[in-house]
Structure 1
């Protein structure tokens, strides 16, 4: 092969042809270095017949500069890249970039110098050095990474190196991971679990594509059951990928995994240090037979890593919205996982206690094989669920816990049992205003109020990340001591619990307080040891955690998720409340769930109270069918944005004016997005509602491909959207 076609990691360029120098051997999937003008760029060798490009004479081709020392991408992974780009209307280069997710991994074998505390003291112990040394206790990383951990400049740490307080350690970047042993500690499964585990393990050994919906009630032992399929893959010398929706769930999962297999899995998520990402990427690409990665546990991005010999994919908590990427390549990891399993001819397990309606529909059609675990493990009973009608059982003014919930909390504290209060709203209050002039604190970059966080004494925007100190006076009228918090967040609920139960030990659990695996491990250890009486948390506490002494769950505002026009609001509310309810009574003691609501007769609330999941899903299915919504129809969104409102509106109107008139596609909009200003950009949306037979992606490509826009305008496509803001 003396001429190759490269996919360059630049979506604006398209594929380019190059000449292969004498002595260099490349094949489809090889990662190479190529010249582009005066620069050097990375590219992936692609099959020319699958990637049309402008024809260039051989004489004008520039030679490749080098071959990157990593295994070529497998044809199955290349097909997945193509499918993802085609289905989600994304540039091929943007999808391929997710595969090459660690620049350091491409440099070949190497060592690096990390640093750790030596136990010595500096000649002069300044407060800054003291704080840095305390922060770095037990840490080992590069100087740059340690500076980030300690919150000091690199110069401070280099001073500690010079004085011998930090000592260098030479580290092999690609040292092997501990080996998982499939026979380390096999569990005792009940007959139902054993039957399901046998089916899953048999599918792994058959090495054929088979999607499973593992539908098990909370506490039924889904994890222990699919671990037997993981063991079968390990016995066959193949790799396993387990996707988790939240980094905070990782620590609890790791303990269960290590207890079963005797060694931790390989991690992949955004909080890894660059050296950890490099080591994991190369271990995944080298395969288990060469001492590489056996089992990878990661966030959705782990789905695109170059596994050498993948034998099983598990998507845990498969209903979770966080598996949908909301920017860049807007893919749904649950659906892409099924496609990767199909391309690589292997089983995929979608595990959930509250499956997505789309997954249930696929099981009804026989596309997915549904495996049911309908009883809790060890004889534990499902909790008793009751509603508290807030129109009748009103909390006192400026309080949010109704009398029945307060009494239940007091009862659990007296018995030495744990309680959990759920409110999916971070911070202290969602709105702060001035009682003197009525000024409301609003984000300058987004159409959103600033949320008060009293734990950090900040006002924060939960959309763009802007933070500012809470002022002493109103910026509008200058009045002091006039700011009023409106509505509750979890911090305010925690204050109310402290007022009612002054002796209770309270933990606030949100993405603000549990923002790393280490903090998650600390929280789990405290809750498991009984050092916490009341947990107050957001959706972070609805899944994955198992606390045997937790017997009461209180849902502060079950109606909150039904607001805002989300087309999946009822399903999402059902899933969240059912999942958080499932935290109660997982041990020997019975559990109780109290759901505070102003609409106890609403179908979703009534179904939760009755414990009748089938009735809810049946009603929701008919509503979706009538509306032509997924899984019976298809949705796609077109989002137009610009830093100039008039420019964004004009571009959106131009798109709307050229809409295709098709019998099987209805196009709504353009209209200002509910979040009309986001991160400093004005936004307009169009929504496509199409029949299943419609070729939505083809319609969108032809429609938008014929238009051009000013440089400041961005037009993005969201296939199967989950967010409608």
Structure 2
């Protein structure tokens, strides 16, 4: 191959042709370094017939490729997925390719990196920014840029703390192998319904072919244990599995459950990983060493060379939709990747999406049903409270019947969950004097009061302002009132009604990382929380 068509990691450019120097060997999928003006960019060799160029030039005008990375080429199936995603979702192919090459540091062949962590020492000159950095960093570890982002300060503040020895450098090995899960580690005893579904899943994995399946089971029916049998079948065959979860907060609890079944945790992939962790995971996946990967929707585009099964857990969740950068629906892209890879895909859900139901009705998807809960667990009793007939007292939001039931639950040393899909303290703040409502200047949505952090925030565009002390319209002080309930307001009411109850507010504001989610789950399992709002 004397010339090669390269798709560079630059969404503004189409494919470009380069000369392959003598002695360099490339093939479709090879990851290369190519010159572009004064810069050098990573790219992937593509088939010319599948990625036409707008303006081909003669061989004498081509520039030489700089090098080929010592990494496995992207598979044909992944390249077809990139093409399909770009075409279907009207995105630049280079932007989709960037999701496959999601760790720039993975292209580097270094064996270790220098990261930083707090030592516990307090510098003599403790500025407000330094104090904020040390408080927010806590026990975190990462590169200077990563710690600065977490702390909300500049790189210079972190480097200053390094000089004062409040933060120390540590060398981290980034190519340690991942332990292999054991398919026979702790095999569960399945119910007859689970066994039928599990045999169907395992048979599809062993059959090696595209097989979309809907695993439809009520909450608590044991869907996870069923598709774990498919994971076990893939492990016995020495192949790879991808499990997609809708929320980063679900990752840590799932990892512990997986480890209890297979002896070792799977490889995790989500936005909360440090750069060194992303590099290690990406290289292990690309080499085939990582047998099971669990992650958010971005894990879908990683370069698995030997994929045997894809699982989309809670497949009905709307959070599988990517709404920034390249817009796509991970559930649908997962089905397409399984089609290109020639492997089964399982959509697990207690409430399948209507699109999935239609595919089952058309005969395109096979349906596996789990109608009952596992073991002696029973479906809960559900009762509706008519707030017109049983209204809360003035200034309160919980109906008397609900308050009574919560009290009875706490008396039995059981836990209660109050769900309200409104973050913050109140969805609207207005002035009693002039009627002014606080609206976002960017999108005119109401500004939501977050009393715990003393600010108003737009939940549409993210605009934030400090909590005002007086009305900006009429200037009247002490005239602002919160209208409507949010989770923080309900938590205050629970604290008033049940002062001895241990409470936890659980939203994306309080559980912003897998570690925070794992901490919350641990407290729930240890019965350290009585009421969750």
Partner of residue 476 from structure 1, selected from 473, 476, 494: 473
The answer for the alignment partner of 1:27 in structure 2 is 27
2:430 pairs with 1:429:
no
The answer for the alignment partner of 2:284 in structure 1 is 283
In the aligned structure 1, how far is the partner of 2:123 from the partner of 2:35? 51
Q: SS state of the match for residue 327, structure 1?
A: coil
2:70 pairs with 1:73:
no
1:184 shift after superposition: 1.6
Q: SS state of the match for residue 342, structure 1?
A: helix
The answer for the alignment partner of 1:520 in structure 2 is 517
1:525 shift after superposition: 1.4
2:499 pairs with 1:499:
no
The answer for the alignment partner of 1:374 in structure 2 is 371
The answer for the alignment partner of 1:43 in structure 2 is 43
Please, which moves more after superposition, 57-66 or 124-133?
A: 124-133
Deviations 1:424-466 (A, max 9, x none): 1111111111111111111111131110011111101112212
Contact 2:31/2:69 (8 A) holds in 1: yes
The answer for the alignment partner of 2:442 in structure 1 is 445
Aligned length: 531
User: Are the structure 2 counterparts of residues 322 and 409 from structure 1 closer, same or farther at C-alpha, using a change threshold of 3 Å?
Assistant: same
Partner of residue 408 from structure 2, selected from 403, 407, 411: 411
The answer for the alignment partner of 1:301 in structure 2 is 298
Q: SS state of the match for residue 328, structure 2?
A: coil
In the aligned structure 1, how far is the partner of 2:421 from the partner of 2:163? 48
TM-score with structure 1 length normalisation?
0.70
Deviations 1:594-639 (A, max 9, x none): xxxxxxxxxxxxxxxxxxxxxxxxxxxxxxxxxxxxxxxxxxxxxx
Contact 2:309/2:344 (8 A) holds in 1: yes
In the aligned structure 1, how far is the partner of 2:43 from the partner of 2:168? 39
User: Are the structure 2 counterparts of residues 329 and 168 from structure 1 closer, same or farther at C-alpha, using a change threshold of 3 Å?
Assistant: closer
Q: SS state of the match for residue 271, structure 2?
A: coil
Please, which moves more after superposition, 345-354 or 13-22?
A: 13-22
The answer for the alignment partner of 1:91 in structure 2 is 92
Partner of residue 458 from structure 2, selected from 450, 458, 461: 461
In the aligned structure 1, how far is the partner of 2:35 from the partner of 2:156? 37
Deviations 1:216-255 (A, max 9, x none): 1001111112111111111111111110000111111111
Contact 2:142/2:275 (8 A) holds in 1: no
Contact 1:474/1:482 (8 A) holds in 2: yes
Equivalent positions of 1:169-318 (< 5 A) are 169-288=170-289, 293-318=290-315
Contact 1:205/1:232 (8 A) holds in 2: yes
1:357 shift after superposition: 0.9
1:338 shift after superposition: 0.7
2:342 pairs with 1:345:
yes
In the aligned structure 2, how far is the partner of 1:46 from the partner of 1:21? 17
2:334 pairs with 1:333:
no
In the aligned structure 2, how far is the partner of 1:38 from the partner of 1:157? 31
Deviations 1:324-379 (A, max 9, x none): 11233221100110110111111111000000011111112221111111111121
1:102 shift after superposition: 1.2
User: Are the structure 2 counterparts of residues 158 and 58 from structure 1 closer, same or farther at C-alpha, using a change threshold of 3 Å?
Assistant: closer
User: Are the structure 2 counterparts of residues 10 and 114 from structure 1 closer, same or farther at C-alpha, using a change threshold of 3 Å?
Assistant: closer
2:110 pairs with 1:109:
yes
Equivalent positions of 1:701-720 (< 5 A) are none
The answer for the alignment partner of 1:385 in structure 2 is 382
1:148 shift after superposition: 4.2
Q: SS state of the match for residue 505, structure 2?
A: strand
1:131 shift after superposition: 7.1
1:156 shift after superposition: 5.5
1:149 shift after superposition: 4.4
In the aligned structure 2, how far is the partner of 1:37 from the partner of 1:117? 41
RMSD value over aligned CA atoms?
2.1
User: Are the structure 2 counterparts of residues 533 and 341 from structure 1 closer, same or farther at C-alpha, using a change threshold of 3 Å?
Assistant: same
In the aligned structure 1, how far is the partner of 2:176 from the partner of 2:334? 29
Q: SS state of the match for residue 193, structure 1?
A: helix
1:77 shift after superposition: 0.5
Contact 2:123/2:161 (8 A) holds in 1: no
Contact 2:123/2:166 (8 A) holds in 1: no
In the aligned structure 2, how far is the partner of 1:81 from the partner of 1:123? 50
1:313 shift after superposition: 0.5
1:41 shift after superposition: 2.4
Deviations 1:154-195 (A, max 9, x none): 555555545656543322222212221222211121221122
Please, which moves more after superposition, 82-91 or 390-399?
A: 390-399
In the aligned structure 1, how far is the partner of 2:170 from the partner of 2:381? 55
1:74 shift after superposition: 0.4
User: Are the structure 2 counterparts of residues 147 and 12 from structure 1 closer, same or farther at C-alpha, using a change threshold of 3 Å?
Assistant: closer
In the aligned structure 1, how far is the partner of 2:235 from the partner of 2:212? 19
Q: SS state of the match for residue 429, structure 1?
A: coil
Contact 1:423/1:490 (8 A) holds in 2: yes
In the aligned structure 1, how far is the partner of 2:229 from the partner of 2:354? 27
The answer for the alignment partner of 1:633 in structure 2 is none
Contact 1:69/1:107 (8 A) holds in 2: no
Partner of residue 318 from structure 2, selected from 318, 321, 325: 321
Contact 1:70/1:108 (8 A) holds in 2: no
Structure 1: gaps of 5 or more residues: 537-725
The answer for the alignment partner of 2:482 in structure 1 is 485
Contact 2:216/2:352 (8 A) holds in 1: yes
In the aligned structure 2, how far is the partner of 1:138 from the partner of 1:11? 37
1:497 shift after superposition: 1.7
1:92 shift after superposition: 1.7
Deviations 1:554-606 (A, max 9, x none): xxxxxxxxxxxxxxxxxxxxxxxxxxxxxxxxxxxxxxxxxxxxxxxxxxxxx
2:512 pairs with 1:511:
no
In the aligned structure 1, how far is the partner of 2:462 from the partner of 2:323? 16
In the aligned structure 2, how far is the partner of 1:369 from the partner of 1:123? 63
Deviations 1:42-85 (A, max 9, x none): 22211111122123222222222222232111001011111111
Contact 1:122/1:160 (8 A) holds in 2: no
The answer for the alignment partner of 1:5 in structure 2 is 5
In the aligned structure 2, how far is the partner of 1:10 from the partner of 1:136? 33
